[in-house]
Amino acid sequence: MKVAVKSWLLAGFAGMLSACGGNGDTAGQKETGVVQSADWPTHGRTPEAQRFSPLSSINLSNINRLGLAWSVDLETNAGQEATPIMRDGILYIASAYNIVRAVDARSGKTLWVYDPDVREASARSCCGPVSRGVAVENGRVFVGALDGRLIALDAKTGKPVWEVQTLDQDHPPAVNYTITGAPRIVKGKVIIGNGGAEFGARGYVSAYDMATGKRVWRFYTVPGKPGTQDGEISDQPLKDIAASTWHGEYWRWGGGGTVWDSIEYDPELDLLYIGVGNGSPTNHGIRSAGKGDNLFLSSIVALKPDTGKYVWHYQETPGEAWDYTATQPIIFADIEMNGAKHKVLMQAPKNGFFYILDRATGKLLAADPIARTTWASHIDLKTGRPVENPEARYYLTNQPALVFPSSGGAHNWQPMSYSPETGLVYIPVQDMGLPFAGEADIARQAGVYNSGTIMTGGAAMNDADLKEAMKQMKGYLLAWDPVRRKVAWRKELAATFNGGVLATGGGIVFQGNGARKLAAYNAKDGTLLWSFDAQTGIVAPPITYAIDGVQYIAVMAGWGGAWPMLGGQFAEQPANGVGNNRLLVFKLDGKARLPAPEGSAYLPFDPPADTAPAAVVARGDSLYGQYCLRCHGIGAVSASMVPDLRRSGYLADSNFDQIVVDGALSSMGMPSFKGVLDARDVAAIRAYLIHRANRDKAMMLPSSQR
Helices assigned H by DSSP within 563-602: 564-567
**Widest Cα–Cα separation across the chain:** 72
Query: Per the residue annotation, which of 39, 230, 293, 323 is the catalytic one?
Result: 323
For residue 386, the cross-strand partners are 379
* Sites for Ca ion among residues 393-432 (CB under 5 A): none
Nearer Cβ to Ca ion (275/541): 275
Nearer Cβ to Ca ion (410/503): 410
Residues 6+ apart with CB under 8 A from 382: none
Nearer Cβ to Ca ion (285/577): 285
Stretch that binds Ca ion, among 97-105, 204-212, 245-253, 273-281 (CB under 5 A): 273-281
H helices, E strands: number in the chain: 9, 39
Nearer Cβ to Ca ion (26/258): 258
d(CA 534, CA 538): 8
Three-class SS state of 621:
helix
Q: Rounded to the nearest whole angstrom, what is the least distance from the CB of residue 272 to Ca ion in the complex?
A: 22
Q: Rounded to the nearest whole angstrom, what is the least distance from the CB of residue 549 to Ca ion in the complex?
A: 44
The candidate with the shortest Cα–Cα distance to 691, out of 583, 619, 643, 632, is 619
Does 258 contact Ca ion by CB under 5 A? no
Tell me whether strands 52-53 and 501-504 are parallel, antiparallel or unpaired: parallel
Stretch that binds Ca ion, among 140-148, 161-169, 318-326, 638-646 (CB under 5 A): 318-326
**Residue-by-residue DSSP string for 83-132:** PPEEETTEEEEEEGGGEEEEEETTT--EEEEE----TGGGGG-TT-S---
d(CA 218, CA 216): 7
For residue 141, the cross-strand partners are 136, 153
Burial track 247-278 (b if 16+ CB lie within 10 A, e otherwise) = ebebbbbbbbbbbbbbbbbbeeeebbbbbbbb
Q: Rounded to the nearest whole angstrom, what is the least distance from the CB of residue 327 to Ca ion in the complex?
A: 8
Of 50, 53, 71, 278, the residue at the interface with Ca ion (CB under 5 A) is 278
Nearer Cβ to Ca ion (196/514): 196
Stretch that binds Ca ion, among 207-215, 317-325, 350-358, 448-456 (CB under 5 A): 317-325
Nearer Cβ to Ca ion (285/408): 408
Q: Rounded to the nearest whole angstrom, what is the least distance from the CB of residue 409 to Ca ion in the complex?
A: 9
Q: Rounded to the nearest whole angstrom, what is the least distance from the CB of residue 18 to Ca ion in the complex?
A: 3
* Sites for Ca ion among residues 18-77 (CB under 5 A): 18
d(CA 49, CA 370): 21
Instruction: Count the Cβ atoms, other than its own, within 10 Å of residue 25.
Output: 11
270 is catalytic: no
Stretch that binds Ca ion, among 55-63, 226-234, 323-331, 654-662 (CB under 5 A): 323-331
Q: Rounded to the nearest whole angstrom, what is the least distance from the CB of residue 280 to Ca ion in the complex?
A: 8
**Applying CB under 5 A, what is the total number of residues that bind Ca ion?**
4
Instruction: Give the CA-trace dihedral at 512, 518, 523, 528, to 10 degrees.
Output: -120
CA 249 to chain centre: 28
The candidate with the shortest Cα–Cα distance to 586, out of 524, 523, 505, 530, is 530
Q: Rounded to the nearest whole angstrom, what is the least distance from the CB of residue 177 to Ca ion in the complex?
A: 13
Of 39, 320, 323, 439, the residue at the interface with Ca ion (CB under 5 A) is 323
Residues 6+ apart with CB under 8 A from 420: 24, 50, 52, 333
d(CA 16, CA 451): 10
Instruction: Count the Cβ atoms, other than its own, within 10 Å of residue 451.
Output: 32
The candidate with the shortest Cα–Cα distance to 692, out of 461, 472, 384, is 461
Measured CA angle at 598 (ends 592, 603), to 5 deg: 165
Q: Rounded to the nearest whole angstrom, what is the least distance from the CB of residue 324 to Ca ion in the complex?
A: 9
Q: Rounded to the nearest whole angstrom, what is the least distance from the CB of residue 651 to Ca ion in the complex?
A: 31
Stretch that binds Ca ion, among 11-19, 69-77, 101-109, 585-593 (CB under 5 A): 11-19
Nearer Cβ to Ca ion (18/176): 18
* Sites for Ca ion among residues 131-150 (CB under 5 A): none
Residue nearest to Ca ion (CB): 15
Stretch that binds Ca ion, among 21-29, 49-57, 274-282, 588-596 (CB under 5 A): 274-282
Nearer Cβ to Ca ion (180/373): 180
d(CA 699, CA 229): 55
Does 15 contact Ca ion by CB under 5 A? yes
Q: Rounded to the nearest whole angstrom, what is the least distance from the CB of residue 15 to Ca ion in the complex?
A: 3
Phi, psi of 496 (to 5 degrees): -75, -40
Residues 6+ apart with CB under 8 A from 288: 246, 247, 248, 250, 279, 294, 319
Nearer Cβ to Ca ion (264/323): 323
Nearer Cβ to Ca ion (195/223): 195
* Sites for Ca ion among residues 488-527 (CB under 5 A): none
Does 657 contact Ca ion by CB under 5 A? no
Catalytic residue list: 323
Residues found near Ca ion in the complex (CB under 5 A): 15, 18, 278, 323
